[in-house]
Structure 1
């Protein structure tokens, strides 16, 4: 398979990329490095990416940001960070990227545990993750067999545990192998409109 991973050099993305590279042709797109440059918060940048990159059997997004802060400290502009990047950035990847898929291809987005099990300082991030879940379930009803659309929703992963453990008291980190397997299930399987939750 020829696979495009947006965010393929991040904490989770690099591990997924290393695994898939063993048996597939993997290309990486990122904001500052990779085979292609893209800022998913900018729809024009997404269009430019796919005009250069050609066709793929699978598109995977493991990118997008949202502001973490106390609810009373979040401004309207703070919410727009997550809305423009992680939510609309991934929506636009589907809108534009579907036309860069070979027949029967797939698109996998990324959300996270905060959609179902939020913690403090995540009013914006949890809202965005929940929106991605709902978007995928609704949009997949209209893919008409042309391609599959799913979302991977992970808990706190081992490689990010030290950085985020204080935000997630009592959460058992999931192994990077489980994280990779969840993406593989979405990319290689037959499910459509699925929220693949791996929270423990």
Structure 2
């Protein structure tokens, strides 16, 4: 299959690319820099340009999406909008603008996160967009045309990022990126739709 991996240069993205490559798929990487295709998820024009450049694909995987972290009592609407633009709208637009480019029976796999189920301090904005993506996936699945499937993967904090984020995720048990990547493979290669694969 021809699979586009958005956020391919990140920790999860690299693990996903490795797993899908090992499975024999043709991978096209997309990111802000250092990838096969330059993509700004916050820009519909950039998303359109990517699809026009690549043409038809079999699957699109998203392992990216910026969200705002900060105390609720000082969070501004503008800061919250960063999460909406960077993770919620960005992923939704990849689906909405990509429907005509994904082949029959293809798939989209988006990314959410554990904070929507297990909140942390300063994570309200990120939790909000994660929950929005999960709801979008569940609802969109019943309307996807031509047998196209859509799922999401909800990762825990990663072992590879634990030193950086451990003060925010006190008491959590981090998971390896390889385990998260396997959930993306399940979404791409399996038959389910409307699912949120939790890797907690």
TM-score, length basis structure 2: 0.97
Query: RMSD over aligned Cα, in angstroms?
Result: 1.0
Which residue in 1 is equivalent to 2:84?
A: 83
Partner Cα distance (2:152, 2:27) in 1: 19
User: Comparing 58-67 with 14-23, which one deviates more in the overlay?
Assistant: 14-23
Partner Cα distance (1:189, 1:145) in 2: 16
Do the aligned partners of 2:112 and 2:133 also contact (CA within 8 Å) in 1? yes
1:144 shift after superposition: 4.1
Partner Cα distance (2:85, 2:66) in 1: 9
Which residue in 2 is equivalent to 1:35?
A: 36
Say which SS state the counterpart of residue 106 (structure 1) adopts: strand
Partner Cα distance (1:176, 1:86) in 2: 19
Say which SS state the counterpart of residue 73 (structure 2) adopts: helix
Partner Cα distance (1:108, 1:59) in 2: 6
1:24 shift after superposition: 1.1
Partner Cα distance (2:119, 2:70) in 1: 13
- Superposition map of 1:100-139 within 5 A: 100-139=101-140
- Superposition map of 1:139-158 within 5 A: 139-158=140-159
Larger helix proportion of the pair: 1
- Superposition map of 1:164-183 within 5 A: 164-183=165-184
Partner Cα distance (1:148, 1:38) in 2: 23
Runs of 4+ in 1 over 3 A off after TM superposition: none
In the alignment of these two chains, the number of paired residues is 199
Which residue in 1 is equivalent to 2:46?
A: 45
Partner Cα distance (1:16, 1:97) in 2: 20
TM-score, length basis structure 1: 0.97
Partner Cα distance (1:161, 1:20) in 2: 25
Partner Cα distance (1:137, 1:61) in 2: 16
Query: Which runs of no fewer than 5 residues in structure 2 stay unpaired?
Result: none
Which residue in 1 is equivalent to 2:187?
A: 186
Label 1:30 to 1:187 Cα distance change in 2 as closer, same or farther (>3 A): same
Partner Cα distance (1:144, 1:64) in 2: 25
Residue deviations 1:107-135 (CA, integer Å, cap 9, x gap): 00001001111100011100010000001
Which residue in 1 is equivalent to 2:8?
A: 8
Say which SS state the counterpart of residue 21 (structure 1) adopts: helix
Partner Cα distance (1:194, 1:82) in 2: 22
Query: Which runs of no fewer than 5 residues in structure 1 stay unpaired?
Result: none
